[in-house]
Amino acid sequence: MELHELNTELITQMFVDKVAEIPEIGTNGALLSNPDTAAKFPVCVIQPPLSKLKNGGAVFDLSITIEVWAEGQYPALSIFDKVRIKLKDYNLKLANSTPFFFDAATKKWRYGGYFEVRWNAIDNSFDKN
């Protein structure tokens, strides 16, 4: 049996594309790094997944951090809930939330969470973790 190789770039792009489906975010608002003051808000920052090899390379446990940056706390919460629901398409499950944070440079609120999923190298799929 030949195992698929973990492709972090492709997986990250899949998550970015899924988040970009949310109208408030769009393709220009799904970022891989924190925005600067010139960014058009709201934005969503998706960190590339951290991976932990399991079962001799047959599966990887992936965890990613995602934050929504918005004008206020309630818009950040609302958009984050849309992100959480969208990511269920890939079996990502919210494991923990981050506290609200006001960014002094951008004057925006950010709120996010940690998501987990198991990537199956046997059939190249995202399994519930």
pLDDT recorded at residue 56: 80
pLDDT recorded at residue 62: 96
CA 76/CA 54 separation, integer angstroms:
34
Could you tell me the residue ranges of all domains in the chain? 8-35+42-127
Indicate the residue type of 28.
N
pTM above 0.85, yes or no: yes
For residue 1, pLDDT over 80 is answered with: no
Residues 6+ apart with CB under 8 A from 27: 20
CATH of 8-35+42-127, one of 3.40.50.12160, 3.30.2000.10, 3.30.1540.20, 3.40.50.150: 3.30.2000.10
Q: What is the pLDDT of residues 26-71, one digit of tens each?
A: 999 999 999 999 999 999 999 999 999 888 889 999 999 999 999 9
Q: What is the pLDDT of residues 76-112, one digit of tens each?
A: 999 999 999 999 999 999 999 999 999 999 999 999 9
The reply to whether omega before 42 is within 30° of 0 (cis) is yes
Q: Identify the band that residue 128 occupies on the pLDDT scale cut at 50, 70 and 90.
A: confident
Contact (Cβ atoms closer than 8 angstroms) between residue 96 and residue 59: no
Distances (CA, A) of 38 to 34, 105, 107: 11, 11, 12
